Amino acid sequence: MKENGTESNGYHGQRAVGTTDGREYEVAIVGAGPIGLELAVCFKQAGVDYIQFDAHQLGHTLTWWPRNTHFFSTTERLAIAGVPIQNNHQQRITGEDYLAYLRSVVEQFDLPINTYEPVVSLARAEGGFLLETAALTGQRRYRSRRVVLAIGDMHFPNRLQIPGEDLPHVSHYFRDPHDYFRRRLLVVGGKNSAVEAALRCWRAGAEVTISYRRQWFDDRRVKQWLLPDLQAQIEAGTIQFLPETTPVEITPAHVTLAPTVDGRPVAGAAPIYHSTDFVLLATGFRGDQSLLEMAGVELRGENRVPVHNPDTMETNVPGLYLAGTVAAGVQQRYVLFIENSHVHAGKITAAITGEWPAALGDVGQRSYELALAAIEAN
């Protein structure tokens, strides 16, 4: 049978798509995270001839979340394409729950996705774009009149560029609190991920110290149910806190920390040597902007924000659109999340088809063009 005009083997993961079949798609979606999938539903319901790629499996970022980590967002803000997220507790869900939900949406709408097929080259061509991919079975080429990049912004960790950062006991990824049971753990960072990791690992039996370059945590950047808990543990002495410090070297036995003022190391200050078994660098992540650069998208400012029309999400490159957090560039402070990016799918669909999609987010009467202040307050 055929799906979107290409041969399908009945399994909508890696499909048998010819390398040079001469077809030209109306739209190519690069990325199969929540907003990419929501856009795919919009296109399929509107009859748009599209093809979708992901470098890994759908929702890949969620697969390296710590086990049993709950979203900070509530379910109605995470749901896509008008499909509510149902559960038996009506509370925030875990990353594992959300992956199961995304799979169910793909099944419900029978969305074809070329998973494990990264787009490695994107170039403008006559009448559209030429995409080259590295599929499991070899290199492939596709033509598309338009392209939507829904690639997210969390491809690589923010590295500190210090000696010892690549030692085996050092990680930028928090996998499971069990890994640190009855071991000494130094957590570096001061936002949600660092605070939650410190609390979970301590409750799992680790001896936890948290190092942060500032004097105290910003209550606007740490969720309200985490910070009082951490403060209580610090005051009780169950979690050690090293304020105004930053790591400058990591060895197998200890971490050298430099004192800081306003987040910056103090020149000539005596270093602090902290003994530890493991180091978790919760320093955030950054996106891969190479496809944007290849296509000629202009990137502006310290955050390298892609130039785009906020009404249509089209970039300065005609026919190239942005959906989701990629539109915010390298977010040093997050302004785009899943919950306020649903509207991107609507704007792109309307720009291409002339019609607003039937459903975005959870249910039709909800508004998903949320102010950032409203998101941070919840």
Q: Where do the domains of the chain lie, and which CATH numbers do they carry?
A: 2-155+287-376 (3.50.50.60), 158-281 (3.50.50.60)
Q: Comparing C-alpha atoms, which of 182, 13, 201 is closest to residue 111?
A: 13
The pLDDT value given to residue 364: 55
**CA–CA gap between residue 225 and residue 183 (Å, rounded):** 26
**CA–CA gap between residue 364 and residue 177 (Å, rounded):** 39
How many C-beta neighbours within 10 Å does residue 47 have?
Answer: 9
Is 8 in a helix, a strand, or coil? coil
Residues of the chain under the 50 pLDDT cut: 1-18, 365-368, 371-372, 374-378
What tokens were used for 292? Answer: 């944007």
Is 177 in a helix, a strand, or coil? helix
**Sequence-distant (≥ 6) Cβ neighbours of residue 369 within 8 angstroms:** 340, 343
The pLDDT value given to residue 333: 73
The pLDDT value given to residue 69: 86
> Pairing between strand 50-53 and 119-125?
unpaired
What tokens were used for 365? Answer: 């009467």
Contact 125, 145 (CB under 8 A): no
**CA–CA gap between residue 306 and residue 304 (Å, rounded):** 6
Is 83 in a helix, a strand, or coil? strand
Q: What angle do CA 84, 365, 93 make, to 5 degrees?
A: 30
Q: Comparing C-alpha atoms, which of 306, 343, 326, 289 is closest to residue 39?
A: 343
Q: Is 49 left (phi over 0), alpha (psi -120 to 50) or beta?
A: beta
> Pairing between strand 272-275 and 170-171?
unpaired
Q: Report in angstroms the alpha-carbon separations of 226 from 66, 190, 300.
A: 16, 12, 34
The pLDDT value given to residue 369: 52
Contact 93, 84 (CB under 8 A): no
The pLDDT value given to residue 10: 33
Is 108 in a helix, a strand, or coil? helix
Q: Is 129 left (phi over 0), alpha (psi -120 to 50) or beta?
A: beta
**CA–CA gap between residue 339 and residue 13 (Å, rounded):** 26
Contact 58, 106 (CB under 8 A): yes
The pLDDT value given to residue 337: 85
**CA–CA gap between residue 275 and residue 222 (Å, rounded):** 27
For residue 349, which phi and psi values (nearest 5 degrees)?
-60, -45
Q: Comparing C-alpha atoms, which of 313, 330, 329, 331 is closest to residue 321?
A: 313
The pLDDT value given to residue 27: 98
Contact 85, 59 (CB under 8 A): no
